Homo-oligomer: A and B are copies of this chain.
Amino acid sequence: MKQKTPTGTVLYSIEQAIKEYRKVCQKNIQKIVNDITVDQCLVLIILNDNEKISQIEIAKLIFKDNASITRIIELMVKKDYLTREIDEFDKRKTKLIITEKGKKTVVLLSPVFELNRETALDGISAEEIELLDKILHKIISNCKTS
């Protein structure tokens, strides 16, 4: 039976799913490295794959605000995962450089992300995942164009 309250709708299943997934991620990450968050780790992995990426591009990739990225990176610099330099070709931009500690962390944590995904998607078929993705993108586009 359909509930009238917002909480009973599929949109809250989406909310719940992502929250539970984030908990699993954080838990698995902290087994290996204990001073890093899921988001910081994501930034690290993205930077590792693409050294020249700007903060704004990182923000878009992980669906975050520029302001959030600034602060996430600030903390990562403090914790010696990254250093920052001004981009010489466009002085508005910053060049983000992974430190040795950062590089080691990527190596340690990349497999954890693999594990997280496998944990979350266990027993769900490739077709189901594809369908899930398709419906979610429909929702995303509905919201964006509203």
Residue numbers of A with Cβ under 8 A of B are 5-7, 9-21, 23-24, 42, 45-46, 49, 61-63, 113, 117, 119-124, 128-129, 131-133, 135-140, 142-144, 146
Cross-chain contact B10 with A143 (CB below 8 angstroms):
no
Please determine whether B136 and A17 come into contact, CB atoms closer than 8 angstroms: yes
Residues of B within 8 A of A49 (CB): 5
Interface on chain A toward B: helix, strand, loop, or mixed SS? helix
26 contacts between A and B (CB under 8 A): A6-B45, A7-B42, A7-B61, A7-B62, A9-B117, A10-B121, A10-B132, A12-B62, A13-B136, A13-B137, A14-B18, A15-B18, A16-B63, A16-B140, A18-B18, A20-B140, A21-B139, A24-B146, A119-B142, A119-B143, A120-B139, A123-B142, A124-B138, A128-B131, A131-B135, A132-B135
